[in-house]
């Protein structure tokens, strides 16, 4: 089908980035969230990021203005019903996602494609609770969305070819690169990335290295742009823990056991940048300070 409008569920870190790139690519975007404050912050952030792109000559002023004009916000989930494609980008909790799709389904047209930006949850299982498993798939963007070029496309067991092709066309129009992944826990990127982060937390937990030495070692020794603990803070420690639990539960292998220190940080509410404390403390005016 020809996709002209995209509905995005969730105005957080991922949702606002997805809205940004979709509107810039010429799609009409309807962005929804349960919080009006989150919606206002998302639009302000999109405007700020677009202004930054204009200042760097990556986007023209006309394209910036057009993108903002194409974004509409609403707190009513069913307002997305007329959209051709829905991208769910809510919190990484399966029960929340099921509830969203249940509320959304009665308002959708038969041809509407449903997708989830989940980073680890089974696409087949999410699809099975809807009325259109053949028109359901994983549409996993990387963070930050306007910068990162990869999108993982994940087919559930019932996803049909037309749905896959339609989503692939969207990725191409966004000027990003699609990677096809099979529907196994955490797919490709997080199946590899999260155990590395979890192992870095174990190295810290066991006293092999400090926060600074671990991140410096991976940045200078493996040429990573961010150290694994710095990256964990950027992603969100609650998200990292949720993905490790999906891997551990889904694959039943002890090598995916979440590090107890990661669990402790999440229990403390130290989730990284979004709470101003994680493996680093971001509350000061200078450089972030290691918390351990």
Annotated binding site for NAD(+): 10-15, 33, 92, 97, 119, 143, 274
Residue 256: DSSP 8-state: G
Residues 225/219, Cβ–Cβ less than 8 Å: yes
Tokens of 113: 């494609």
How is 28-73 classified by DSSP, letter by letter? EEEEE-S-HHHHHHHHHHHHHHHHHHHHTTSS-HHHHHHHHHTEEE
| Residue 22: C-alpha distances to residues 116, 166, 243, 287 (Å) | 15, 14, 26, 33
177: which strand partners? 150
Q: Which residues are catalytic?
A: 119, 140, 152, 190
Chain centroid to CA 17 = 9
Annotated binding site: 10-15, 33, 92, 97, 119, 143, 274
Residues 136/130, Cβ–Cβ less than 8 Å: yes
List Cβ neighbours of 143 (8 Å cut-off, separation of 6 or more): 13, 14, 17, 234, 235
User: Nearest 5 degrees, angle CA 39-CA 43-CA 49?
Assistant: 140
């Amino acid at each position: 089908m020809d996709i002209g409008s995209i509905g995005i569920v969730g105005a957080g870190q991922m949702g606002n980035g997805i809205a940004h790139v979709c509107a810039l690519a010429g799609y009409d975007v309807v962005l929804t969230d349960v919080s009006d404050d989150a919606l206002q912050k998302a639009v302000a952030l999109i405007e700020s990021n677009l202004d930054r792109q204009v200042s760097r000559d990556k986007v023209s002023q006309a394209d910036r203005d057009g993108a903002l004009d194409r974004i509409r916000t609403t707190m009513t989930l069913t307002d997305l019903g007329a959209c051709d494609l829905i991208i769910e980008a809510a919190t990484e909790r399966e029960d929340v996602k099921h509830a969203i799709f249940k509320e959304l389904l009665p308002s959708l047209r038969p041809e509407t494609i449903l997708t989830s930006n989940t980073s680890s949850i089974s696409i087949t299982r999410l699809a099975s609770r809807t009325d259109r498993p053949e028109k359901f798939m994983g549409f996993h963007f990387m963070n930050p969305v306007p910068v990162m070029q990869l999108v993982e496309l994940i087919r559930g067991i019932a996803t049909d070819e037309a749905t896959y092709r339609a989503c692939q066309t969207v990725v191409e129009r966004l000027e990003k690169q699609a990677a096809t992944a099979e529907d196994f826990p955490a797919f490709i990127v997080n199946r590899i990335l999260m155990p590395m982060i979890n192992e870095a937390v174990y190295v810290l937990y066991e006293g092999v290295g400090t926060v600074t030495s671990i991140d410096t070692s991976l940045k200078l020794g493996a040429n990573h742009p961010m150290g694994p603990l710095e990256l964990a803070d950027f992603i969100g420690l609650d998200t990292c823990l949720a993905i490790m639990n999906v891997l551990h539960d889904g694959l039943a292998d002890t090598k995916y056991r979440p590090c107890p220190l990661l669990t402790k940080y999440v229990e403390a509410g130290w989730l990284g940048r979004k709470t101003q404390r994680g493996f680093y403390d971001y509350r000061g005016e200078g450089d972030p300070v290691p918390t351990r």
